[in-house]
Chain A
Amino acid sequence: MSELLQFLFSGLTVGAVYALVALGFTIIYNASDVVNFAQGEFVMLGGMITWFAHAAGLPLPLAALIAIVATAALGVAINKLAIEPARGAPVVSLIIITIGASVFLQGAAQLVFDKQIHSFPAFSGDTPLRIGGATIQPQSLWVIGGALLVFVGLWLFFTRTLLGRAVLATSNNRLAAQLVGINTNFVMTLSFALSAGIGALAGVLATPITLTAYNVGIGFALKGFAGAMLGGMGNPKGALAGGFLIGLIEALTAGYLSSTYKEAAAFVVILLVLFFMPQGLFGRKSTERV
């Protein structure tokens, strides 16, 4: 019993990281149908900038805030300098631009910071919590809490606010959205700022567990992307469920079968789900309604 609980805790810890990254994909995707492959770099920047500022002597909360704001600003810059000039290009071209942005950010990070692995202290200490014979690190609860909070925030944003609906409308039909008075340029800028900010938050929360380096972005993006696809691209509920599901499948496979198969098991499930439900578990009904 305590064994199962430990596997579940392990899965939740990992899953929460995946879910947070997956949530970052949703906004840009919802605004423009673009899968932003630089999302992992935002996560990396969140961790690296926080480490850098903290090592320079700033208190951790301030360092984290600086990291999130700076990354959001970088997200806006990418949109202004790379995505906006290519407006009108097919979605595939835009996706390729985000891959370029990802390579650029990784290269820049290795020059600006360094090539070593870094971390900063966990927010509530390192003493593990014991529950029913199993243990979990307090930082895991921060990541799980962060994922839930971002999810609720996004859900409210997309369903309850005019701005959120404007984002969905822009994705659905940019011209029509412009005709009804939506400033689509602003929507794009906003979506990049939010996505980058959420990515950075993921990096800030996860780094005490996963550690960070200039090249961790790709790994995060891959697993987050898988989570988002499994749950249904663009749906916050799907991102959350997909991320946690992959984490849990991995942990349970590693625990009960063999750790050699854990990645394979997760991807077999993804393939099966996408085979029978090409839209992912939660589809994207929110925009098909129009």
Chain B
Amino acid sequence: MKKILTTTVPAALIALGLAGAASAEIKIGASVSATGPAAFLGDPEAKTLEMLVEELNAKGGINGEQVELVLYDDGGDANKARTFATRLIEDDEVQAIIGGTTTGTSMSILAVAEDAEIPFISLAGAIDIIQPVKPFTFKTPHTDRMACQKIFEDMQKNGIQKIGMISGTDGFGASMQAQCKDVVGEYGIEIAADETYDPRDADMTAQLTKIRNTEGVQAVLNPGFGQGPSIVTRNYRQLGIELPLYQSHGVASDGFIELAGQQAAEGVRLPGTALLVADLLAEDDPQKPVVTAYKTAFEAKFKEPVGTFGGYAHDGFALLVDAVTRAGSAEPAAIRDALEQTSGLAGTTGIYTMSAEDHLGLDLSAFRMLEVKDGSWSIVE
């Protein structure tokens, strides 16, 4: 990764030199967790950003100006993220920052970015990042609260009133568990059993047996990411539980079906993004061209399937390019104002329409309820 960076930077500089000194370069900073515990999120994000910058420059950049990406790997460490954010602003003098793979790293970057009045687009899930609204902070992933709402909406449609929850104790699982419990009342659904597991656990049959034996449970919801949900899904089938199983957007990837096993994953529902079902989207779906282009380019370049998280980075970059183009200037304040006026921008995650009160710009329609059918994702109508 570092190698690509050192080769693209001189290449960009040479290109700049040839183009003449007249076109000032646009500098974008990024700090993502390409290594460390969040590496499987940050790694595709870093790859996505590098790929998109390369593509953009090959096409002539933004408003005729080349874009330079300064990319750091914070390893999922919030302190490092803060240091890198400071370095990006003071030494590299970037005009905007994309990054913050985890909620922790995002929170420390946003503090620095707000102080320096540099626009920051976060790639992490927590609602605290944009609520209350901070003038220079935006984010691309939908919140876990929205995932809960989407799931409960689907449950409500199917007449489910009493559910069991089994959540991972990692940051993602714990946060979504809390959000779901907070919002569940609005849907007239009761959480009758509330169990947890450690993300490193090898077997969850004990917790699932307990949920199964809880009277009246009609469905089970599993907020979590990493290997936990795959093991939960396997154990669920092992115990022969016939109730509907809902997973979170944290495992919305083809890898989940593979790890849980095609048989065990059959029938699992989760709120996912258009990226997962690119082929199934209607021809007139506004997201179809964006999603297909990203998927094709990423998979051809890196020989690995695209995922929701790389998609967040794609959308962050698309928002920024759109804002700079509309602003016609790369001044941080102008970018910020343009970002806030983003309207109807189709990304891989959803269609973004920002406002002064909403720095996420997505609603529940960004999520599509997906179900595993015959070993692949399908859209639930």
Contact = CB atoms under 8 A, between A and B. Distances in A.
Partners in one complex: yes
A126 B197 contact: no
A117 B40 contact: yes
A220 to B, nearest CB: 8
Nearest to B199: A219
A13 B259 contact: no
Given A116-B255, A126-B261, A259-B195, A7 B206 contact: yes
Contacts of B43: 114-115
Contacts of A6: 205-206, 209, 239
A10 B213 contact: no
B343 interface: no
Interface string A87-129: 0000000000000000000000010001111110000001010
A255 B203 contact: no
Q: Most A CB atoms within 10 A — which of B197, B204, B234?
A: B234
Contacts, number: 100
A210 B231 CA distance: 7
Contacts of A251: 203, 206
A260 interface: yes
Interface residues of A, number: 39
Contact of B40 (A116, A137, A254): A116
Given A14-B201, A119-B259, A135 B40 contact: no
Given A14-B202, A117-B255, A135-B240, A3 B209 contact: yes
Contact of B203 (A3, A14, A119, A213): A14
A251 B37 CA distance: 26
B205 A10 contact: yes
A82 to B, nearest CB: 22
Decide if the interface of chain A is mainly helix, strand, loop or mixed. Answer: helix
A17 B203 CA distance: 10
A206 interface: yes
Interface in B176-220: 195-198, 200-207, 209-210, 213
B325 interface: no
B6 interface: no
Interface string A246-273: 0000111011001110010000000000
A10 B227 contact: no
A66 interface: no
Contacts of A115: 35, 39-40, 43
A219 B200 contact: yes
Given A6-B205, A210-B227, 18 more contacts: A6-B206, A7-B206, A114-B43, A115-B35, A116-B40, A117-B40, A117-B259, A119-B230, A128-B240, A135-B239, A137-B234, A209-B202, A211-B227, A252-B206, A255-B206, A255-B207, A258-B195, A259-B196
17 contacts: A6-B209, A10-B203, A10-B206, A11-B206, A14-B202, A114-B43, A115-B39, A117-B40, A117-B230, A128-B237, A128-B239, A137-B238, A211-B230, A252-B206, A259-B166, A259-B197, A259-B206
